[in-house]
Structure 1
């Protein structure tokens, strides 16, 4: 069989297809048009092939470092679970450095003891984010340096994540705030998605600050309890806006005292009021559920919100 025959047959069929698509066109123009369409088809196939070749694998080095680096840049708080069979949160941390196979985390709050030993895998949970493979809110990584066995008591070092998943969010028990001097709150009854208010510079509608000597209302208010899912406030009745009701959206700027740095660190949350109940005389107990968290965009200076 002549090897040119299949090629000639395909070319003839392609010519007939072009003639059907463009009836009345001269043979010279048909050949020119056919060549142009064939060249365009080759370019499309080449482009698709390059995209497939450049697409990183599910657990490639690009994937292992890209997501932790994104969490680092956005300042997302990461919950580290206590152990493989214990879903309670041991510590909260932020990622401070990411290399090819190393993720360094700074502990900002201790809730329990990390029972995972170096060399074993632990689970880190964060606010859900979208990836090309779907939504995720956790990764599994090997603990290489713990807070107890490592060089620094406020640092964890992990190997690059080896798995990502979307796991059900745990319902954390709210913890009562015993000392008001280590926590401060600014609150606005507004939605971050629709409000044009610059929250970073605006005066709060409701504040909690035990050291606000010039604003006695703020020092009278208090944080009753707090968890990953929300917080409870005790607020003077006269400070609650008339439009405030159950399901009212709120924006919260929460300041937690960092004992190592001896300074208050800010955290941004959006949420909804879930309960408004009578508290001690002259006060209302306000229960708030967090629905989103935010970090400050370094380029624009604006808040970048992520749904929880």
Structure 2
């Protein structure tokens, strides 16, 4: 199909509107000058509007080109963005997490920071690379498909990956639960301990938390620098200074969580117990990082003395 140009539309306007209008204007008396000026203004506005829409459409099409792709990939590399690697047919099953270390003409090189089954993926197979949503002129994107060129693996797992340059980006729904951003920190208090829900004994709640947010526990230093970023039925995200989280939390680390959340109807803080895993550890800047925690089990206090917890898988 032949591409319709801007000049084509201008010629149509000239033949269908301007020429007939000029014939009518010639036959009008001098006192009709206000009408003539109004018609001329309307024609000019219509032509300008069509030109703007054509140029805007052309710009959007250019936005998805190879230069745009390379710019986005370069941003991922420069900012050290951690990306999830999965099978294109099952994006929920994350096989590894990696960062881009180098960009070549025909490939991208990545360092694997967390190997969770990628070594079992057939070499030269297609994979899905997922990243935090990026806004583009044509909408939000959060993934691209690529093909494995080479994969360096040892007994302990894979360490490096080379993949083809992606040609296009798209968006998939990754989250089952809608997140609620926490605006006012005074209505939520969080304590996080390293540990598994392998016992119903709640004595861990009396120990010093490994990370606390607004808990006002005098034994937990630095909690005033932590913040809850968002929370949902599936987990929460916390920002914390690097000095409080370095060498303590890593992806897939088991944690136990106590959340005190203000109930506006009852005008009291209510406790919630969860077991979970650290899903992501991302540096926000050189001083702080973001911990993404996924809930795996919910807990309920069994007795009035709050000594035992019953755990239920989520």
TM-score (norm 1): 0.50
Output one character per residue of 1:223-271: Cα deviation in whole Å (capped at 9) or x when no partner: 8x974xx953277xxx9899462399xxx99769xxxxxxxx9543377
**2:272 aligned residue:** 246
1:269 to 276, 287, 292: 292
Q: Which runs of 5+ in 2 are unaligned?
A: 1-12, 177-194, 197-208, 215-226, 232-237, 262-267, 283-287
Query: Secondary structure of the equivalent of 1:37?
Result: helix
**2:55 aligned residue:** 50
Q: What aligned pairs does 1:34-183 form with structure 2 within 5 A after superposition? A: 34-56=39-61, 60-72=65-77, 75-81=80-86, 88-98=93-103, 101-116=106-121, 119-148=124-153, 154-167=159-172, 169=174
- Of residues 131-140 and 154-163 in structure 1, the stretch that sits farther from structure 2 once superposed is 131-140
Q: Which whole-Å CA distance do the structure 1 matches of 2:15 and 2:239 have between them? A: 71
Deviation at 1:108?
Answer: 0.8
Output one character per residue of 1:14-35: Cα deviation in whole Å (capped at 9) or x when no partner: 46999xxxxx994445444433
Q: Give the 3 Å change call, closer, same or farther, for CA 185–49 of structure 1 in structure 2.
A: farther
Q: What aligned pairs does 1:200-215 form with structure 2 within 5 A after superposition? A: 200-201=240-241
Q: Which whole-Å CA distance do the structure 1 matches of 2:172 and 2:76 have between them? A: 17
Q: Give the 3 Å change call, closer, same or farther, for CA 267–103 of structure 1 in structure 2.
A: farther
Output one character per residue of 1:63-92: Cα deviation in whole Å (capped at 9) or x when no partner: 533443454455442122368789743321
Output one character per residue of 1:108-132: Cα deviation in whole Å (capped at 9) or x when no partner: 1112243445544222233445545
Query: Secondary structure of the equivalent of 1:245?
Result: strand
Number of residues of Structure 1 aligned to a counterpart in Structure 2: 233
**Structure with the larger helix share:** 2
Q: Which whole-Å CA distance do the structure 1 matches of 2:247 and 2:309 have between them? A: 17
Pairing 1:192–2:229 present: yes
Q: Which whole-Å CA distance do the structure 2 matches of 1:188 and 1:287 have between them? A: 25
Q: Which runs of 5+ in 1 are unaligned?
A: 1-5, 19-23, 178-183, 211-222, 257-264, 290-308
Query: Secondary structure of the equivalent of 1:157?
Result: strand
Query: Secondary structure of the equivalent of 1:161?
Result: coil
Q: Which whole-Å CA distance do the structure 1 matches of 2:109 and 2:30 have between them? A: 67
Q: Give the 3 Å change call, closer, same or farther, for CA 85–26 of structure 1 in structure 2.
A: same
